[in-house]
Amino acid sequence: MQAGKIRIGTRGSPLALAQARQVAARLATAHGLSAEQCELVVIKTTGDKVTDRPLIEAGGKGLFTKELEEALFARAIDLAVHSMKDMPAQLPEGLTISAILEREDPRDAFVSLKYSSLETMPRGAVIGTSSPRRQAQALRARPDLLVVGFRGNVETRLRKLEEGVADATFLACAGLYRLGLAKHITQKMPTSVMLPAVAQGAIGIEIRADDVETAGLLAPLNDANTATCIAAERAYLAQLEGSCRTPIAGLAELRDGNVYLRAEILSTNGTHAQALAGTASAADAVQLGERVAAQILERAGPDFFATA
Ligand SMILES: NCc1[nH]cc(CCC(=O)O)c1CC(=O)O
């Protein structure tokens, strides 16, 4: 850190900026710092530049994190603010997630100007989404619907909806809340129909693993309950990410002091799905994630991946 200044690395999208400003404000409050002492450093990532094709084709998740991580290594920033949902399960050697903020609503929002819910859409209506998970879950519930690609940031997707490119879309409730756009939520999707992406709704702060000074500053921002749930979900993701190219969903919650993890993998067209749940004490969150992953892979069997 330089002369009492904290440099906060963030992507430039409105959602990323809202999240980074939230972290800056929390840091300022926790340590009595001025706004100038918490400087935002905006970094463009490959994921922000690629808008013409599905991100899976361009290289997947790491696309939103790589340039921020390079800036951490180069000491151009002291911390990087991420949507934990966009973080690969495996972090580069030398970096660590130092704090996870209290989770916002992890559910997906059904957003439509025409229909009040997924169930009441007429046959053949069009869903706009480029998320293989949301596509798979929507088609699982409603195989008669059509899906078209829908890339871009939250505002772009809402505009496409207004232009009539699709009859409905899905967006994370968390992002809509943080952008002050919660009025667009038509239906909060029950997790029984649409289990969220791993870590959806959670903001994580990444630092250099040897940076004890920044780690100390971030300690008061960490929410232990959220961190436990994210540990279970990401341990599950880590086991699946390598071996499973199909859509993955997972949500951990605390129930009576224990971690309760629900997991789901699907074929992209929604015709095949495997779902599973497990529970463990909070201290065993990581083992729970690993166990649930092993169980779901075993239950799916090689046939699932051959046909999915
Ligand atoms: N992939 C983009 C992304 N990454 C995180 C969020 C939402 C915020 C969150 O999950 O915390 C979004 C937008 C969306 O899915 O609607």
Same domain as 214, residue 81:
yes
Same domain as 166, residue 151:
yes
CATH code, 183: 3.40.190.10
194, part of any domain: no
1, part of any domain: no
Between strands 6-10 and 79-83, the pairing is parallel
Same domain as 16, residue 82:
yes
CATH code, 276: 3.30.160.40
Phi, psi of 63 (to 5 degrees): -60, -25
Q: Which residues pair with 287 in a beta bridge?
A: none
Greatest CA span in the chain, whole angstroms?
A: 61
Same domain as 208, residue 78:
yes
Same domain as 93, residue 113:
no
Q: How far, in Å, CA of 154 to CA of 172, rounded?
A: 9
Same domain as 217, residue 86:
yes
Cα angle value 219/250/147 (rounded, 5°): 125
Same domain as 94, residue 18:
yes
Using CB atoms within 10 Å of the CB of residue 275, give its burial: 0 to 12 exposed, 13 to 18 middle, 19+ buried: middle
Same domain as 24, residue 51:
yes
Phi, psi of 173 (to 5 degrees): -55, -40
Q: Nearest to residue 27, comparing CAs of 209, 226, 210, 213?
A: 213
**CB distance 19 to ligand 1 below 6 Å:** no
Same domain as 15, residue 80:
yes
208, part of any domain: yes
Same domain as 83, residue 12:
yes
227, part of any domain: no
Same domain as 174, residue 27:
no
Domain that holds residue 14: 6-101+202-222
Q: Which pLDDT tens digits describe the chain residue by residue (308 residues)?
A: 556 799 999 999 999 999 999 999 999 999 999 988 999 999 987 777 666 665 566 566 677 788 999 999 999 999 999 999 999 999 999 999 999 999 999 999 999 999 999 999 999 999 999 999 999 999 999 999 999 999 888 999 999 999 999 999 999 999 999 999 999 999 999 999 999 999 999 999 999 999 999 999 999 999 999 999 999 999 999 999 877 778 999 999 999 999 999 999 999 999 999 999 999 999 999 999 999 999 999 998 877 766 65
pLDDT score of 220: 98
Q: Which residues pair with 279 in a beta bridge?
A: 260
Say if pTM beats, i.e. exceeds, 0.80: yes
62, part of any domain: yes
- Separation in Å, CA 154 to CA 109, 137, 169, 205, 206: 12, 20, 10, 22, 23
Q: How far, in Å, CA of 187 to CA of 173, rounded?
A: 10
Q: Complex ipTM, two decimals?
A: 0.96
Domain count, the chain: 3
10, part of any domain: yes
Q: Which of 48, 52, 78, 86 is catalytic?
A: 86
243, part of any domain: yes
Same domain as 182, residue 44:
no
> Which of 15, 45, 198, 233 should be mutated for ligand 1, with most atoms under 8 A from CB?
15
105 is catalytic: no
- Separation in Å, CA 209 to CA 69, 72, 163, 220, 304: 12, 10, 46, 17, 39
Q: Nearest to residue 173, comparing CAs of 240, 103, 244, 243?
A: 103
238, part of any domain: yes
**CB distance 228 to ligand 1 below 6 Å:** no
